[in-house]
Amino acid sequence: MNEMIERCQEIVLEIYDKFDASHDFAHIERVMKNAEKILAVEPSANEQVVRLAVLLHDIEDAKYKIDTNPTCLEILQSLKADDELTQSVIATIESVSFSGGNSKNVTSIEGAIVRDADRLDAIGAIGIARTFAFGGARGRKLYDTEENARVNMSEIEYRNKETASVTHFYEKLLLLKDLMVTEEGIRLAQQRHDYMIDFLKQLEDEIGH
C-alpha cells in the first residue's frame, strides 16, 4: 500500500465508522476485496485510482452527508494528489451511484471496476444483511405485501420514498446482475443473485404470501 492510499484510509476510517452497519468501513473493505479480484484480470486499470475511489466512494453519499465531513475533493487535496489523479478519482466515483437506475455512463475501466465491486457488495448474503441493517437503522418495515416495486423512477423519487426492505430487492438488488460491466463482475454476480432469489422464495413461504 502506497503512502497516499494508507493516509486516505486513515482519514476515511473515522468518517465511515460513524455510519450504520450497511455503509461502515467494513463495507469499504469488502468493496476493496471485490475490486482486487476484478483488478487481477484487468491489468490495464490504474490501481491507485481504483483504490482511492473505493476508499472515497461513499464519503459524499446523500444518505449520510454531514457538513462537517470533508468532501472527496478536500481529502484528495489534503493528500496532495495532482489534478490528473484527482479528476480521475472523482470521475470514477461518479460512475458508482445507482440512483434509481439513473446511473451515469461508465467512461473508464476504473469506473467499471469500482461500480461492479460496490454493486457486488449490494447482492448475495452480504447484500441481504446490509439491506436489513439499513432498513433497521431507518425504522423501515421488513416487508409490505401491499407495496408494489416502482419502476422508471427519477433519482429524487428513488431516494425520497422509504419503502419496506424487501421491496428494495425488487427496485434495485435484483436488477444489479444485469448491470455489471466487467466480465469478472458479471461472473461473480451470478451466484450472489441466485442466492437472493432462493432467499426471497423462502421468505415468501414463511410469511405465507
Which residue's entry shows cell 421488513? 142
Averaged pLDDT for residues 89-98: 90
Whole-number Å distance between alpha carbons of 88 and 90 = 6
Average confidence score pLDDT of the chain:
92
pLDDT given at position 100: 53
Which fold is adopted by the domain 3-207? Answer: Hypothetical protein af1432 (1.10.3210)
Instruction: Using CB atoms within 10 Å of the CB of residue 115, give its burial: 0 to 12 exposed, 13 to 18 middle, 19+ buried.
Output: buried
pLDDT given at position 180: 96
pLDDT tens digits along 8-40:
999 999 999 999 999 999 999 999 999 999 999
Element (H, E) at 85: helix 83-94
pLDDT tens digits along 148-192:
888 776 666 666 678 999 999 999 999 999 999 999 999 999 999
Find which of 5-19, 87-101, 103-117 is predicted with most confidence, using mean pLDDT: 5-19
